[in-house]
Chain A
């Protein structure tokens, strides 16, 4: 009997040890000396140019640390490559949460990857500020741990379609969109605006992000009579579209999502074809003389001289700004709840992006975009300043 009890006891101790060492035991993400933040993004693969977003917060963290940190705590930033693959996003996020202990995520590129981890982050009470992509599913219904700054692609679609019809006076609108939430949200916005204006798009064509031959898509757009083509695609697809259009002499007004607004890059990799393309924009131009942008450009030179101070690298800083603001307001006694309370009371926060407002009932921070045109040599021409989408359905709920 005694022997049996000993066996049972040993079994319980062994099992307890096993459970204790293998269960999810996320660290709180901060201590008296540091606050750990992290971002994932494609550092390799076809969407890699968007991956620099994830590296931007490191420079902002260095700037903050140079000033003494936040209430005496230094910021430590982690970056992971998810290759724009949702399965990989899950792996890297789990590793960061369970091994490193992350207080808050910032940025996070790729809508499919974000959707794959948003519930996991909420279940583990990890804050996520400024996803570097924007889809309705992130913020509707309100996720208490997720705060978005990025204008919805739906709002952007609506604003760009309005610009095409009312400012450029083009009624024959074609849309080419990536066959995922990113592309479909953009398409929804265009449809809402065109419905309002009593116009129907002459073509709506889905495209997969990996496709290298888009000749049939271009032919379809040309035959539809589209004089302006709005696109929600990745940079490589954007270049292929313009190059393929050139092979058959098709020259519509190209209008693209803000994801293709890194003009320096797009102009270079398209062999100059990007000149004249109009895009949405979610932040001030990186070559602007605005004092905040100049400060960030200098910080990049100092802390990450190997990085190009383009739209996406700086966007990483922009997406992190409201978290820094909230952490400062949360005070010295930091807890997740204190940070959430501060984030939920963000009012008219103005960094290098659009004005941000969050409440406990509304975590979509903005509906504004700027409109840019790619100028000679990949320069940025501001054609329309911050514009709100008066059709934004989510604001009327």
Chain B
């Protein structure tokens, strides 16, 4: 029983973490918590649904098409909504992302309607394998683990060894200095939003395959992913993965033993972590910008 609980908890936790990485990438560069993250991912998933179900393209072509759309959507949101704001306060930026969230939800409702849609991936949740006695793993979970591992390695190499990755870190640490050093900060922001939107879309497709697609389907996963990011540290990519795993395990344990409490575990985590360790469990230090 515990083995399966841990397996299920890790699977959903890593899925939260995948989406949490999308939140962290934007926060790492611009220190904006993007409340439209869930709806950006939702819209990209609807595009995948359209290509797969309506146009009937093969999955991998639909996947590539969706990734291109997600990147362009991220760049567009940053360019059209965030960039025109003149000397925005942090609160102002958050309000802008909230507005974008409403807009994207409206667009999806208008184009695809409010009714749920079925979405499936080639990695079926019903293809199961017995890892140990009583511990079952399915193709969906394997795909989530592999994707998260691949992404972690890629991001580690990207932020450490590529010019763009270093530029993103520099922009986060000091925008003004980065600009003086010749970094085109606006391009860095565009890249971060596009890249984050793409990762968010991958995570959303995993969530959609386990439930259904509708204009509101990413609201709840966004809150969980945000909680995972706060728990691990909004600046730390390994932190968000560990945070997601801890959250998934915690939620599953509560869901099994005290189901009434399960829905509020994530929010309790946010409150407790913000009170005790505002920078999260795995961020190195907490810097207050003045």
Interface residues of A (CB under 8 A from B): 42-46, 48-49, 51, 179, 205-208, 210-217, 219-220, 223, 235-236, 239-240, 243-244, 246-249, 265, 268-271
Contacts and interface: CB of A to CB of B under 8 A. Distances in A.
A206 B215 CA distance: 25
Contacts, number: 120
Contact of B117 (A44, A213, A269): A269
Nearest to B115: A49
Contact of A219 (B4, B109, B211): B4
A214 B12 CA distance: 10
B220 A179 contact: no
Contacts of B12: 213, 215
Contacts of A236: 116, 211-212, 214, 217
A247 B118 contact: no
A212 B211 contact: yes
Contact of B220 (A211, A239, A248, A268): A211
- In the A-B complex, the 6 residue pairs with the smallest Cβ-Cβ separation, listed nearest first, are A216-B255, A48-B114, A215-B8, A246-B126, A216-B256, A208-B263
A45 B256 contact: no
Contacts of A211: 220, 262-263
A50 B128 CA distance: 33
A270 B12 CA distance: 19
Given A45-B114, A219-B4, A220-B255, 20 more contacts: A42-B114, A44-B105, A44-B216, A46-B217, A208-B262, A210-B220, A210-B263, A211-B220, A211-B262, A213-B12, A215-B12, A216-B8, A239-B211, A243-B211, A247-B140, A248-B4, A265-B115, A268-B118, A269-B117, A269-B118
Interface in B121-167: 125-126, 128, 136, 138, 140-141
B259 A247 contact: no
B116 A239 contact: yes
A48 B115 contact: yes
B184 interface: no
A219 B1 CA distance: 8
Contacts of B215: 44-45
Interface in B189-248: 207, 210-212, 214-217, 219-221, 248
A214 to B, nearest CB: 8
A341 to B, nearest CB: 39
A243 B12 CA distance: 14
A19 B262 CA distance: 48
Contacts of B252: 213, 215-216
A210 B219 contact: yes
A216 B262 contact: yes
Contacts of A240: 210-211
Contacts of B256: 216, 219-220
Contacts of B109: 44
25 contacts: A45-B214, A46-B214, A48-B116, A49-B115, A179-B260, A210-B219, A210-B263, A211-B220, A212-B207, A212-B220, A215-B9, A215-B252, A219-B1, A220-B256, A235-B116, A236-B214, A239-B211, A239-B212, A243-B210, A246-B125, A249-B128, A249-B136, A268-B118, A270-B118, A271-B118
Nearest to A248: B136
A55 to B, nearest CB: 11
Contacts of A179: 260
Nearest to B109: A44
B98 interface: no
A249 B216 CA distance: 29
Contacts of B78: none
Contacts of B39: none
A247 B251 CA distance: 18
B119 to A, nearest CB: 9
A199 B5 CA distance: 28
Contacts of A265: 115-116
A43 B215 CA distance: 11
B50 interface: no
Nearest to B255: A216
A220 B217 CA distance: 25
Contacts of B212: 235-236, 239, 269
A213 B117 CA distance: 18
Given A213-B251, A244-B210, A246-B126, A271 B263 contact: no
A288 B142 CA distance: 44
B120 interface: yes
Nearest to A179: B260
Contacts of A49: 114-116
Interface string B98-109: 000000010001
Contacts of A249: 128, 136
B74 to A, nearest CB: 23
Contacts of B125: 243-244, 246-247
A213 B216 CA distance: 15
A155 B125 CA distance: 35
A48 B213 CA distance: 12
B240 to A, nearest CB: 18
Contacts of A247: 125-126, 128, 136, 138, 140-141
Contacts of A48: 114-116, 214
A11 to B, nearest CB: 41
B55 to A, nearest CB: 18
Contacts of B210: 212-213, 240, 243-244
